[in-house]
Amino acid sequence: MTHHSLTAERIGSRTPAAALTSSAWMDEAAPRSGKRAYRASRGTPPQSSTARNKCGDICFYVDSSGRQCFNFPQRVWLYPCVPMAVTPVMSIELETLAINLLTPLTRERDYPAAVGVTSRRVRSLASLFCAECLLTAQSQAWVMRRSTIRAWLASRARIQGRSRVGARSGR
């Protein structure tokens, strides 16, 4: 089994040197077989999709055939034929990715999309999440912890809470 030497950027880490090599979490045979392998280290068996998502890491990489791969399913489509994707500029594909990252971490479900349901809050925060988190990742592979996304959502809630209080008090 051949491992890629592609470097995966850890998004949201506090130290710039915190990076993983993709060989720690994917192998070349996975895309050809239609399955994606996620391995904590060499020699450990692949985990199920549910187990991967419980560990807290969201992974993205471009496979050897140029196809973008994620370790979670797309559940929300803003437009029926537009899949989530990493793009170098703001796009509906990138915004769809942001919505699919943010939706599982929120409780509200009050915004029906073309396929799936999300929340108005997630819909309004998606472009900001793209600008602050997704567009800053410049590599062909990255890893983001769910806790990083939760912390980002919490910071947005605190900022919005302060804005509302300031508007009510006339500041």
Span 106-152, pLDDT tens digits = 999 999 999 999 999 999 999 999 999 999 887 889 999 999 999 99
| Position 79 in a domain | yes
| Position 2 in a domain | no
CB distance 19 to 9 below 8 Å? yes
Please tell me whether the overall predicted TM-score, pTM, comes out greater than 0.75 for this model: no
Range of the domain at 42: 7-163
H-helix or E-strand containing 61? Answer: strand 57-62
State residue 41's pLDDT score: 39
Phi, psi dihedral angles at 165 (to 5 degrees): -65, -45
Average pLDDT, rounded, for the chain: 75
Tally of domains within the chain: 1
Residues 100 and 86: their CA atoms lie apart, in Å, by: 12
CB distance 105 to 144 below 8 Å? no
| Position 68 in a domain | yes
Residue labelled with tokens 């040197």: 17
Residues 102 and 125: their CA atoms lie apart, in Å, by: 9
| Position 171 in a domain | no
| Position 156 in a domain | yes
| Position 170 in a domain | no
| Position 69 in a domain | yes
State residue 8's pLDDT score: 62
Give residue-wise pLDDT tens across range 10-60: 765 443 333 333 333 333 333 333 333 333 334 444 444 444 445 679 999
| Position 61 in a domain | yes
Give residue-wise pLDDT tens across range 48-58: 444 444 567 99
